[in-house]
Chain A
């Protein structure tokens, strides 16, 4: 139960959404873009989030796209995780997001919502980072398409009033061998203590991780270690773990020591899965 009241808008077009935002912003209202809304509800009900108004992007046709357009896969921000998995357009993405929350929730959680999540995991970004996806944004400055990694630094940073419309994945990445693992404290349904999405491209591993540090990341240094043919698999992993971008998390899901142990195991599994595909 959300204790506070807010205005709800579901615009039918990008321009309408932009207009509503501008009008509300002028009134100094706190406005949130909304697509699945699961996090908006769960945080608002425990007073950890507040908004004067929400703009629901589900009514915008572009935000509901899910198709192959030429050499690209285009995914609207308001498409549910289950629809993406079922479409099988990008199997690594489908498999990775299939591990988020539970099946029923994934009918409501959207990829846009997950990329913008206030939680530290945002696992849907992992396959997109390794596949060098682009994102299409809209805002008062107009629309722009940029490389995801340009605006994804720990989290998706958009300017005020700007919202995610679509994600564009080059088709060439979708048939690379891939691996996706999620490790939890205990139950399959739960936050990851390690989550990895990896592909093999031109015989090189590309990998992105979540759950290990305070934010999801793809690290070229770690990839270089994993691809260093002069090292044994154990040495690769040992080296990779020294190259993490920040400290390993220590929280109620797992201690940092245990996370490191699980991370090493998971890297091993990933290498094996991709190695088999490679060989």
Chain B
């Protein structure tokens, strides 16, 4: 059984292939812990309500709103943030397709796109839309993001996306 009381407790989180000690309240969301304790600030605090996707990280490979997960729930899970990527071609596609303006939504979109490419390398338009609808962007109008996602899927062709 896993328990955590109201006082702060040290737990281990597995983030980007490393095991890290963090001191958390039960009430701390994964978003808070990543940002405030691990300095992984690419996960953005934009709605804290699961409405915008800017805080998206991968939990065991699945896109997850880190604002809707407690840190204590995430113990024993494999968490990936965009800081765990290193010049992946997926990031380059977003650059090359002009899919980035202010950049605030970008890490969330890229992580979601990465998970999509791994799970559905041959995703049709409806699946792309279903997945990407989880992330809001206010700058681009989505056209360039759509082009980037499609290009990632095309080039991916079953191999690893990172």
Check B50 against A105 for contact (C-beta < 8 Å): yes
Give Cα distance in the complex from A254 to B56, angstroms. 30
Interface segment, one of B26-34, B78-86, B91-99, B148-156: B26-34
Interface segment, one of A2-10, A120-128, A194-202, A258-266: A2-10
Give Cα distance in the complex from A171 to B70, angstroms. 36
Give Cα distance in the complex from A42 to B47, angstroms. 10
Check B134 against A103 for contact (C-beta < 8 Å): yes
Check A104 against B112 for contact (C-beta < 8 Å): yes
Q: Which of B27, B32, B53, B70 contacts A102 (CB 8 A)?
A: B53
A44 CB contacts on chain B under 8 angstroms: 27
- A45 lies within 8 A of chain B by Cβ: yes
A237 to chain B, nearest CB (A): 29
Q: With A6-B27, A7-B26 given, is the CB distance from A59 to B130 under 8 Å?
A: no
- B16 lies within 8 A of chain A by Cβ: no
- A161 lies within 8 A of chain B by Cβ: no
B64 CB contacts on chain A under 8 angstroms: 104, 107-108
B59 CB contacts on chain A under 8 angstroms: 107
Q: Mark B112-137, 1 if CB is under 8 A from A, else 0.
A: 10000000000000000011011100
Interface size of B by CB at 8 A reads: 33
Q: With A45-B48, A103-B130 given, is the CB distance from A1 to B68 under 8 Å?
A: no
Query: Which partner residue on chain A sits nearest B3 by CB separation?
Result: A9
A16 to chain B, nearest CB (A): 6
Check B68 against A2 for contact (C-beta < 8 Å): no
User: Can you list 14 A-B pairs with a CB-CB distance of less than 8 A?
Assistant: A5-B26, A7-B4, A8-B4, A8-B5, A37-B73, A38-B68, A41-B69, A101-B50, A103-B63, A104-B65, A104-B131, A104-B134, A107-B62, A108-B69
Closest 3 pairs (CB-CB, A-B): A104-B134, A2-B27, A5-B6
